Copies of this chain bind each other. A is one copy, B any other.
Amino acid sequence: METEVGREIADALGVLLKRSTRQELHRALTVDMGEAVDELTYPVLSGLERTGPCSAADLAPEVGLDRSGVTRRASRLEEAGLVRREADPSDRRATLLALTDAGQCTVQMLRERLSARITASLASWPADEAEAFANSLRRFVTDGPFA
């Protein structure tokens, strides 16, 4: 029955979106990673790596935040030397956010760590099932119920 599937997914998502889940996960990820990057600042790093250098306004929807929020988080990361602000050559009022080498290294390390953790928890899965799940999840995220 199809609605049963929807309900199943809904329940799982409910658990997944728990506040403590996110906190615990990101806390584990950012251990020994310095104080600058935490649950809040990580999305900015990750988003910057995906989009490349861009303005705070352009990055805001990627992170799902207001421009001011992006600015504040970016400032924190800048203070830690992970993000660099550079003037846009084509528009001198704009400020581009870009990852420094340290920032690039950090986000890569974090992604590696997260991937490793996920992979480890999927160790007991059949390889084809894991791959199918990854594909389905990506598809679900991109053109799923969230515009």
Contact = CB atoms under 8 A, between A and B. Distances in A.
Given A14-B43, A127-B2, A134 B9 contact: yes
Contacts of A20: 61, 64-65
A5 B136 contact: no
Interface residues of A, number: 59
A143 B118 CA distance: 11
Nearest to A131: B5
A122 B68 CA distance: 35
Interface string A52-63: 000000000101
Interface stretch (A80-88, A92-100, A108-116): A108-116
Prevailing SS type, chain A contact patch: helix
A14 B111 CA distance: 10
Contact of A146 (B24, B129, B138): B24
Contact of A63 (B18, B61, B137): B18
A25 interface: yes
A22 to B, nearest CB: 6
A47 to B, nearest CB: 8
28 contacts: A2-B122, A2-B127, A3-B115, A3-B119, A5-B122, A5-B131, A6-B114, A6-B115, A6-B119, A7-B115, A8-B134, A9-B137, A10-B114, A12-B137, A12-B141, A14-B46, A15-B141, A23-B64, A24-B146, A25-B146, A121-B140, A122-B140, A129-B132, A129-B136, A132-B132, A132-B133, A133-B133, A133-B137
